Amino acid sequence: MKDIFERELAGEPTDMADPEFPKILKVLKNTQRLIHRLNTESLNDKQIEELMSEITGKPFNASNWIMLPFYTDFGRNISFGKSCFIGPCCIFMDRGGISIADGVWIAPRVCLTTTNHDFNPYKRQVTISKGIVIKERVWIGINVTVCPGVTIGENSIVEAGSVVTGDVPPNVIVGGVPAKIIKPLEF
């Protein structure tokens, strides 16, 4: 039988009344403690790298540049490639998994959210998580929201202020609310 972490990553509904939910709460609380340290202490690059490795549970590559403050609710389900840039004030809600490939640029105030609540008002304590995948060399503009289950194809650009609710093919510029293809990239 799968544990609650495996069920959530598989997109199965997660009820806060589940007897295993305290395991998720424990990770959430620990991550908040680490995020507080990350955003309030005067840290050098090596210390930031070490703290990001602790938050994600994976080695944080020294070629990545993350500008603070940075926020995540869970942390353990984020994977970063190499040579990524993350602007300040980004929010990653990663219980469903966030995969960021090599060479991705994410501007300030971008929200990547993998978790939603049940639409039934009597079941709002139930969450449903779907992963976000950001492929190589994607550029996400300032103040963009990427919704659960979205994949953004390699080299694509998401214009500032957009809300991405569906998959983005490779080599295009998208924008708007909801984001739509503006034009193909030519290079």
Q: Supply φ then ψ for residue 143, to 5 degrees.
A: 65, 35
Catalytic residue (one of 117, 123, 124, 183): 117
Q: How far, in Å, CA of 141 to CA of 139, rounded?
A: 6
36 catalytic, yes or no?
Answer: no
Q: How far, in Å, CA of 98 to CA of 66, rounded?
A: 16
What is the separation, in whole angstroms, between the first and last Cα of the chain? 49
**Tokens matching residue 17:** 């009344």
> What is the number of alpha carbons within 13 Å of residue 108 lying toward its C-beta?
5
Positions marked catalytic? 117
